Structure 1
Amino acid sequence: MAQSTVSYLWRDRKAADGYRAGVSLHSHTNQSKETLDFLANFGNQYPIMRPIISGMERRSKDNHSVAVNYASSYWTPPMTPKLAFDLESKQIEDLNVASMVSISDHDNIKAPMLLRTVPSARQIPVSVEWSAPYGGEQDFHLGIHNLPSARASEWMATLEEYTKNPSDERLGEILAALNDEPNVLVIFNHPLWDLFLIGREKHKFLVNEFLLKYGNFMHALELNGLRNWEENRDVRRLAEKWNMLLISGGDRHGVEANANINLTNATSFTEFVHEIRKEKRSDVLFMPQYANPWKHRILQSTLDAVRHYPDFPVGSQRWDERVYHPDAKGNVRPLCELWPDGNAPPVMRYGIALVLLMGTAPVSKSLRFAWSESRQLRLALGEQEG
């Protein structure tokens, strides 16, 4: 029988007492390629933005002979693997427990492989967030943690091959093989996020269909640190329906540490995997930042993505060093190399300045008050009020 507990540090400052370690799962570094498809969807979803986006697309084509290609473009989070590892480790160690960090960038294992050359991070598991096509209209994101080091590259080739040529039969074979790896943890990340905007009910139907087919190979459903209260409550109900464990996953892309972690008495990540898979026990702790209004947190994450970080390594300092797009010959390059004079067009500079203005103290404070979710905090993830 699956046993999941959920606690909140702002309610109980001693929630970590009695545990040996905390585990940070699902965070991203500058090795993660994040899609820009959402910009096209943003224009479709909010008609008022469509003329602005269309104008930018037209100017790019007319002035620079480069057609905007959302599918081939991407952005990368600002933090290097070492900065991200240190950030997550410190938050956990501030609770007076040992730290374990599993970084899972999109569809590559570069960050953990790089970190394994650093003495303080040598024990980091080899993990990835795999975008697995399903249902013909979307991908499901699966957190695959603690791949066997000697065969990690081989596993990545297998996942990449499926992504190019998806089929239900092959997906079942791959998930069964991952399940046969005794030290690998497979998590269904943010299962109820309709990332591809196919419609909430259709998405939920596909999730349940997926779990019916492959749920035996999933070791837990993720309570996502960047998704809202309502969605995470629905994930909790989904876990109850399928008798599955709940597990943390911060999904950090910016410079704020994960908004939730797992607490454990394991002394290694492999022991933690066994705690989840064999003992079927998971203790999730939400950190104080999750108590902030969700819209405000999304704004902060957006600000993190566009801010200038002069102390970071070159290539991670400016937002246009972290956004990539094909040039006129189809070669993917940072935007800063595509600007005719090395500077973003005025309309983009003004747009970024407007976003940054929302992060200034007076505006940010007002927005946070307007977006208050005090009732959501009382209800938490399904408990009764009072």
Structure 2
Amino acid sequence: MVDRNHISYFWKDSKAARSYKTGVSLHSHTNQSRETLDFVANWSRQFPYLRPFLQRAESKAEDNHGVKVDYSHSYWTPPLTPILAFDLERGQVEKKLDLAGLVSITDHDSIQAPLLLRAVPSARHIPVSVEWTAPFGGDQAFHLGIHNLPSDQAAAWIKTLNEYTKNPQQARLTELLEALHALPNVLIVFNHPVWDLYLIGREKAQQRVHDFLTANRQFIHALELNGLRNWDENRRVKQLAEKWNMLLISGGDRHGREPNANVNMTNATSFTEFVHEIRDGFSHVMFMPQYAEPWKHRVLESTLDAIRDYPDFPQGSRTWDERVFHPDINGVPRPLSELWPTGRSPWYMHYGIRIVRMMGSRPLSGGLRMAWSDAHEHNYTLGEERA
């Protein structure tokens, strides 16, 4: 099967798309996706110099306002509405590759976006898909792209999957994957498989992946080359696919305004037909021009997209603190904009946001882009070529 993995790079071979009819955008997010804020708590472990600052802010919140900071039940939502996200992804395929565009949106543990889009004539054929959070091993979680759920069963499936997320049991996980695999039009993708999501350490994380694939490899149709992860990580995914004789597939993981940095190319004319092609063992991934940009700069831009103001957006989603949610004293998630005692964010948070935004302005942004340049990576791509 490995020989049926094909990878192209737009900056090396833009003509590769001419052999295909359709481009498929997989794994992107909308404002219906709840993105965890657990990473903020992890900053204390990753960056010890931030620990006193975070602890002081957490203490003030509890002492002054009676609200204990709870990162695990807090979340933020990406800025784009489902239709804006759909148009962005399809537009890139049509304009950049001159192919018909298929889009599968996978918000975290929610199918609300595709259900909403099915009421829009231009998007009525969008598959019902989700990025499912699957805890594993007691200290790790994997993200699985479950694409093209049967329309009449999708609501029941998302309820079942979310029940597992709340009460994980590894035997039950295998049962669910086997049942999903038995649905012939469903595609199951192991998203960013070597990303140590819970920072348990590289060796332990690799063991969890090994254990997961040992138990479930026959139900996983492809491993994802992630458009938002760096070159080194995607090389490791490619090696993992070679080790397990598995197919590779694209997944942009877009959260901001930059369209997915990779797509699949196919001659399928429907998403279901594309699923069958993948399950039969053929995949051609195209990395788009933005993947050749410095990775750290792309992460910065995605961060800036998350904290920008969007005055033309619907009310309630225009400012960053309207898109970040935290439980109130009754445990009900509410936008931070409603929780500030003074009606505006604390001064240190206000100026922190301003500093990050300054990093995206000229000439500082251009200087950072040059400093973070990883152009040498382009010569090696994902290992197909050697120095």
Q: TM-score, normalised by structure 2?
A: 0.98
One-letter code aligned to 2:181: N
Instruction: Report the CA distance between 1:235 and its aligned residue.
Output: 0.3
Which amino acid counterpart does residue 29 of structure 1 have in structure 2?
T
Q: Partner amino acid for 1:4? A: N
Distance 1:72 1:40 in 2: 12
Q: Hey, what's the Cα distance between the residues in 2 that align with 1:67 and 1:341?
A: 18
Is residue 66 from structure 1 mapped to residue 67 from structure 2 by the alignment?
yes
Q: Which runs of 5+ in 1 are unaligned?
A: none
Asked if 1 retains the 8 angstrom alpha-carbon contact of 2:134 and 2:144, the reply is yes
Q: CA deviation at 1:313?
A: 1.3
1:207 alignment partner in structure 2: 209
Report the number of matched residues: 385
1:44-101 CA distances to partner (integer Å, 9 max, x unpaired)?
2101111111121122112212111101100000000000000001000012110000
| Counterpart Cα distance in 1 of 2:250 and 2:385 | 22
SS at the partner of 1:14? helix
Shift of 1:315: 2.0
- Contact 1:19/1:263 (<8 A) preserved: yes
Aligned 1:1-386 pairs, distance under 5 A = 1-2=1-2, 3-94=4-95, 95-278=97-280, 280-385=281-386
Counterpart amino acid of residue 69 in structure 2: V
Kept in 2: contact 1:128–1:144 (CA 8 A): yes
SS, match of residue 40 in structure 2: helix
Provide the secondary structure at the position in 1 that maps to 2:23: strand
Amino acid at match of 1:122: R
Please give the alpha-carbon distance, in whole angstroms, between the structure 1 residues aligned to 2:172 and 2:386: 46
Instruction: Give 1:191's aligned amino acid.
Output: P
TM-score, length basis structure 1: 0.98
Contact 1:79 1:316 in 2 (8 A): no
Contact 2:263 2:287 in 1 (8 A): yes
Structure 2, unmatched stretches of 5+, are none
User: Is residue 76–residue 322 contact of structure 1 (8 Å, CA) maintained in 2?
Assistant: yes
Cα distance in 1 for residues equivalent to 2:131 and 2:89: 17
Query: Could you list the per-position Cα deviations for residues 265-284 of structure 1 after superposition, in whole angstroms to 9, with x for gaps in the alignment?
Result: 00000000000002x00000
Query: CA deviation digits over 1:222-246, x for unaligned, max 9?
Result: 0000100000000000000111000
Q: Secondary structure at the match of 2:84?
A: helix
Aligned Cα root-mean-square deviation (Å):
0.9
Q: Does the CA-based 8 Å contact 2:140-2:208 persist in structure 1?
A: no
Secondary structure at the counterpart of residue 152 of structure 2: helix
